[in-house]
Structure formats: structure tokens, C-alpha cells
Amino acid sequence: MAKVTFNTDMCKGCGLCVDACPKQCLAIAQDKLNPKGYSPAYMKDQEKCIGCAFCATMCPDCIITVEK
Amino acid sequence: MAIVFEKPKALTDAPFHYCPGCPHGIIHRLVAETMDELGIEGKAIGVAPVGCAVMAYDYFACDMIEAAHGRAPAVATGIKRCRPDNIVFTYQGDGDLASIGMAETVHAAARNENITVIFVNNAIYGMTGGQMAPTSLPGQVTQTSPYGRDVNHCGWPIRVSEMLATLEGPEYITRVAVNNVKNVRNAKKAIKKAFQNQIEGKGFSLVEVVSACPTNWGMTPKQALEWIESDMLPYYPIGVYKDRSAKEDAAE
């Protein structure tokens, strides 16, 4: 199974990873704020992740690490 | 489990200062990945522009130097001629390369200087607050063209890649985009080829990356990437405009 980890403190909540995900398993945590004051992206549905790294490819802040 | 994607080693740990959703971060990463793959981080020297990417020297782990506005190709020429064994690249925006730095760019290309130029075209001046750039599209609303760019008054946007491709000098001129995963991967290939050309001593390589500026375009990051597809790419088509080695290989 694939594993996606976010460096949440560096996330700016732009949502490009959420749009890039072909399995719709990412989301923006609307009820949370990180130290920068943004709502960060998080893995909503780990089971569906296929480890394609599309999210990391589109992330402008290099905060996503993908393992498979 | 094996790591299939992580932050490249040629980027420092400094967080990018760019706005949320700014593709500068993606393009920085592609350059850094290329440096990692070619193993040139130790001998690469980057030239930072004036513009949003002015602080690129904080983000790349290789040696960096800051040039006066638009003069990055001239500075890179000096570095490359003094230190021909180093890999020299510039990273410039459209306000830097296509406006004040046009002369330096054209003449560096005409001389076929053995350098790599990464040209980020987002059709606006980002750092100064969204003024009209030489690459702003006809009708595009900016701070200095609030009714849309009037081509009768302000002229037409410049297609830098097509223009430079008419010169005999340059080795490799291409335009790529970073609006979706496929285009990002193609952009990576083009950037890698541009660095490879320099390592092989082939000469001037320029990669124009069609990018976005969500903040100054007044859009969400997602809308900005869609606007690249719908408005930018019809005026700035993706493609290889000059590849002299490939042409010579085909002729043989």
C-alpha cells in the first residue's frame, strides 16, 4: 500500500494536490490551521491511494513525500 | 516501502516565500531534480533574477549569484567564460528576461553562449504587484491596463521562443507549461535536456515555462492553471522551436 506524508507546517493550502489526485483521496482540513495560518492538505482516504505521486508532482512547496 | 517521491537534495530546507499555488515552486523543484539526476549540484552556479524569484539563491543548494535587473544572461556569460568547467544557469521571469533584459538575452543567444536559461512566463509583473508585462495577453486586465491590454496603444505581446528561434546562434529553444501533471513531466524532460546540452558543450539552451500568477491574475490556484490552458497556451503554444543537434542528426 502506498503512503503519502505531508510536511503540514509548510503547507499553504493551495489545493493543487487535491485537484491533481485521480482517486480523490486528499482534502483540505478546513477546521485546522498550521503555524503559517493556512488550512493544510491531508490524506482523507489512505485506502484508495495508489502512490502515483501526482499530488507531489503538482505541489509547489515540495512538502509531500510518497512511499510505495 | 521505497520512497518514490521526495524533496530533491539540490533544494535547501528554506520554505518558499511564494504565494499559495505559485508554480515557481514546481519549476524550482524541476531544476533541482535535474541537478540531482545529473550530479552537478557541486559545480552548478545559478544566476537569480530580479522579480518574484529574486530569492532563488536561498532555495537552491548550489552556488548562486544575484544579477542586476535583466542582466542574468550577461552575468552568466562572464561566469561561464571564466569557469568553463562549471554548469551555469539563469532563472528569470518575463518582466526580467523579456523586458529590461531583452538585449542581454538576444545577444547571449546570438553568441550561442554555453549556458542554460530557465524563462518563467506568467504574463505579468508579479513581485511589483501585477503590472502589465511585455508578455501580457491582448485584453488582459492588469494594474496598469485596468480596461484590458489595448494592442493599438501598448503593442502586442512578445513570443520570446519563436523570436529567438529565428537566430542562427542558439542550440535549443523550447516552450513547456506546468498546468498539469503531464506538462510538468514534459517540462522536466526539457529542462534536463537544456542542462545536458551545456554539459556536452552544445551551446545556448532556453526553456520557456508558461506559468501562472494566481494572486495578480485574481484567481484561485486551480482557476489560474485552467486559464493557462484556455488563454495562455493558444497564444504561447507548447513545442520545440529550435533543436540544432536533432536537425543535424536527422540530416546525416
Residues in chain A within 8 Å Cβ distance of B21? 12, 14-16, 60
Burial tier of B84 (Cβ tally within 10 Å: 0-12, 13-18, 19+): exposed
At A17 the three-state DSSP class reads: helix
Which residue of B lies nearest to A6 if distances are taken between CA atoms?
A: B6
Residue range B71-92: mean pLDDT, rounded: 97
Per the DSSP assignment, residues forming a β-bridge with B60 are: B11
In percent, the amount of chain B with pLDDT more than 70 equals: 100
Q: Which residues of A touch B (CB under 8 A)?
A: 3, 10, 12-16, 19-20, 38, 51, 53-54, 56-68
Q: How far is CA A60 from the centre of its chain?
A: 11
Name B39's Cβ contacts closer than 8 Å, sequence gap at least 6: none
Question: How far, in Å, CA of B133 to CA of B144, rounded?
Answer: 9
Residue B88 in contact with residue B117, Cβ under 8 Å?
A: no
Residue B43 is classified by DSSP as G
Question: How far, in Å, CA of A38 to CA of B17, rounded?
Answer: 14
**Grid cell for residue A43:** 490524506
Instruction: Read off the pLDDT of residues B95-104 as tens digits, 9 standing for 90 and up.
Output: 999 999 999 9
Strand pairing report for B205-210 and B172-177: parallel
Residue range B120-147: mean pLDDT, rounded: 95
Q: How far is CA A21 from the centre of its chain?
A: 9
Distance from CA of A29 to the nearest CA of B (A): 15
Residue range A12-38: mean pLDDT, rounded: 95
Which domains are present in chain A?
3-67 (3.30.70.20)
At A56 the three-state DSSP class reads: helix
Distance from CA of B184 to the nearest CA of A (A): 7
Which domains are present in chain B?
24-251 (3.40.50.970)
Question: How far, in Å, CA of B85 to CA of B68, rounded?
Answer: 24
CB contact under 8 A, B21 and A14: yes
∠ CA A31-A35-A40 to the nearest 5 degrees? Answer: 45
**Grid cell for residue B145:** 491596463
Residue range B67-81: mean pLDDT, rounded: 96
pLDDT at B246: 84
> Does the structure show a pLDDT above 90 at B157?
yes
Nearest Cβ partner of A54 from B16, B21, B181?
B181
Question: How far, in Å, CA of B174 to CA of B205, rounded?
Answer: 8
> Does the structure show a pLDDT above 90 at B249?
no
- Averaged confidence pLDDT in chain A: 94
Per the DSSP assignment, residues forming a β-bridge with A26 are: A43
Residue range B170-184: mean pLDDT, rounded: 96
The ipTM, to two decimals, is 0.95
**Grid cell for residue B11:** 533544494
> Does the structure show a pLDDT above 90 at B82?
yes
Question: How far, in Å, CA of B119 to CA of B170, rounded?
Answer: 15
Per the DSSP assignment, residues forming a β-bridge with B92 are: B119
Name B152's Cβ contacts closer than 8 Å, sequence gap at least 6: none
**Grid cell for residue B240:** 520545440
Q: Which of B161, B180, B158, B192 is nearest to B225 (CA)?
A: B180
Nearest Cβ partner of B221 from A3, A15, A53?
A15
In percent, the amount of chain B with pLDDT more than 90 equals: 96
* Residue B228 vs residues A12, B92, B98, B155, B216: alpha-carbon distances, Å: 21, 19, 19, 21, 14
